[in-house]
Amino acid sequence: MDVDPLPQSEISKVLGLLEILEDHGGKEDIYKLARELHYESSDLVEVIRGAELLGLVTTPGGDVELLDAGRRINAGDQNAIKALLKERMLKIPIFEYFKKMLEGEEDHRMSRKDLLDELARILPKTNPDQQFHALVAWGRYAEIFGYNRDHDLFYLDEGQTLE
């Protein structure tokens, strides 16, 4: 399975980038953005990679340009944003992969250890802990996945809480 690692960026930073691009007319130079946001360039690159992976921006030349999907995110309320992000995330191979994996489990859950082992297997050149945190954070935001810290269980978010 061809799965790319998730960028190490919080969804809130991706959403913030979209708002700033909207304020700048939909397009801005990457280096100007880094200065304005007081980000290290490597941190901004991760935020931009996240927005690109979700199909919300494109990066022609040295610019970051807001796409129609990014404009829809900016125009939406919290529920619309989550729904749009969920739709987009489920097209990303790593989300598809783990959603199918959890659907194949009788109780639609797996242990943190099993998830880390699987991340290490499918993404051998990445840090599984970093991928775990990104997958859980992004997945929880879009209500695709849930994670219970008390029981160290990763599960398919089906609208209920895990006891």
Model confidence band, residue 90 (pLDDT cutoffs 50, 70, 90): very high
Model confidence band, residue 160 (pLDDT cutoffs 50, 70, 90): low
Mean pLDDT of 104-133: 97
* Integer Cα distance of 66 and 117 in angstroms: 36
Joined tokens for residue 128: 């599984």
- Average pLDDT taken over every residue of the chain: 95
Whether 82 shows a pLDDT value over 60: the answer reads yes
Mean pLDDT of 15-35: 96
- What pLDDT does residue 52 have? 98
Whether 163 shows a pLDDT value over 70: the answer reads no
Residue 130 buriedness (CB in 10 A; 0-12 / 13-18 / 19+): middle
